[in-house]
Structure 1
Amino acid sequence: MPPAARVLDDTDHAILRELTQDGRLTNSELAARVGIAPSTCHARVRALVSTGVITGFHAEIDPAATGRQLEALIAIRLHAHARGGLRAFQRYLSELPATRRVYFVSGERDFLVHVAVADSAGLRRLVGDTLSVREEVAATNTSIIFEHVPGIRTAL
């Protein structure tokens, strides 16, 4: 069943809220926080994963800790003739070493790419020598990220 077709109840929402806050909770801790038996909790989480509601578990890494102190959002507009290759270009963007996230968006731009690089020279190379020179790229607009606002989570 696709995630959009699965009806989530209050217990599912409670599980998702807790996992959004701390994806490392043990099953016993999660069950206690939600107020259900550990066996029920395990079955619920397994069902949320198998139906695609939970798409994965991951660690969030501070890019600065890995030598990538500068983050930016790059808005990219493709030429009209390149629109047939949107998926291929999206794959290309996602495979760039600096890429953290790729968003296919509506409006004036086609993609919004969150990147992390070592410094301003690295960002200039990425935009000027890697992205802007691609024949399908009509324009880019880069915004440097000064700060992330911590603690914002998806409302469930």
Structure 2
Amino acid sequence: MDRFRHSIPTKDVRPRELDSTDEKIIAILARDGRTTNADLAAALDVAPSTAHARTRSLVDRGILTGFHASVDYQRLGRGLQAMIGVVLRPGARHDSIVAFADEVRRLPQVLQLFFVGGADDFLVHIAVENASEVREFVVNHLSTQQSVATTRTSIVFEYHRNAVAAPFR
């Protein structure tokens, strides 16, 4: 009777290990997300169809989550960047964390928002025109929020991008 049993395929949710080709694709696209499939195939010494299939597999498996542009904020008149550490007040922490993140990440000055462990609850990465705008951002958008206990601002002198981090889920 075994021959009449229907086999139901199971979905293996374990991530397939990356091989050297996958690792090369990730490295190339992390450096330049606009690399063409033809250039990717040439760098890997594989057929374009293979490069495309391998890249598609990395996307489907959730390893590659997007392709990003690197922006020169200096040329946009926002050449001063700062990292602002934010500590929230104790209390209704979950609600405060969610409300803070929802409000701050929508501000046009914010490049990145990190929810972190350690001395700070959040790190807010901003790009503005000058020091007055850093002060204005902290005073008008952070210090005025009831949930914010303290802020600590560090000016970014230089920034080196090695790769783009995955989005928070």
Asked whether the two chains share a fold, i.e. TM above 0.5, the reply is yes
Identify the residue that residue 56 of structure 2 maps to in structure 1: 46
Among candidates 140, 143, 166, match of residue 129 of structure 1:
140
Distance 1:82 1:141, change over 3 A: farther
Identify the residue that residue 90 of structure 2 maps to in structure 1: 80
Shift, 1:152, TM fit? 3.4
In structure 2, C-alpha distance between the alignment counterparts of 1:121 and 1:68, rounded to whole Å: 12
TM-score by length of 1: 0.89
Shift, 1:102, TM fit? 0.7
- In structure 1, stretches of 5+ residues that fail to align are none
CA RMSD between the two structures: 1.9
The alignment partner of 1:81 has SS state of coil
Shift, 1:7, TM fit? 2.1
Instruction: String of CA shifts for 1:45-100, please: whole Å, max 9, x gaps.
Output: 11111221111112111111111121100000001114112123212121011000
Shift, 1:43, TM fit? 0.8
Decide which structure has greater helix share. 1
Across the two proteins, how many residue pairs are aligned to each other?
152
Larger Rg: 2
Instruction: String of CA shifts for 1:92-144, please: whole Å, max 9, x gaps.
Output: 12101100001111111110011001111111110012201100001100001
The alignment partner of 1:5 has SS state of coil
In structure 1, C-alpha distance between the alignment counterparts of 2:129 and 2:54, rounded to whole Å: 42
- In structure 2, stretches of 5+ residues that fail to align are 1-10, 165-169
Among candidates 43, 47, 55, match of residue 37 of structure 1:
47
In structure 2, C-alpha distance between the alignment counterparts of 1:130 and 1:25, rounded to whole Å: 38
Q: Which amino acid aligns with 1:94?
A: R
Identify the residue that residue 145 of structure 1 maps to in structure 2: 156
Distance 1:13 1:95, change over 3 A: same
TM-score by length of 2: 0.83
In structure 2, C-alpha distance between the alignment counterparts of 1:54 and 1:19, rounded to whole Å: 9
Contact kept in structure 1, 2:115 and 2:123, CA below 8 Å? yes
Among candidates 120, 124, 128, match of residue 113 of structure 1:
124
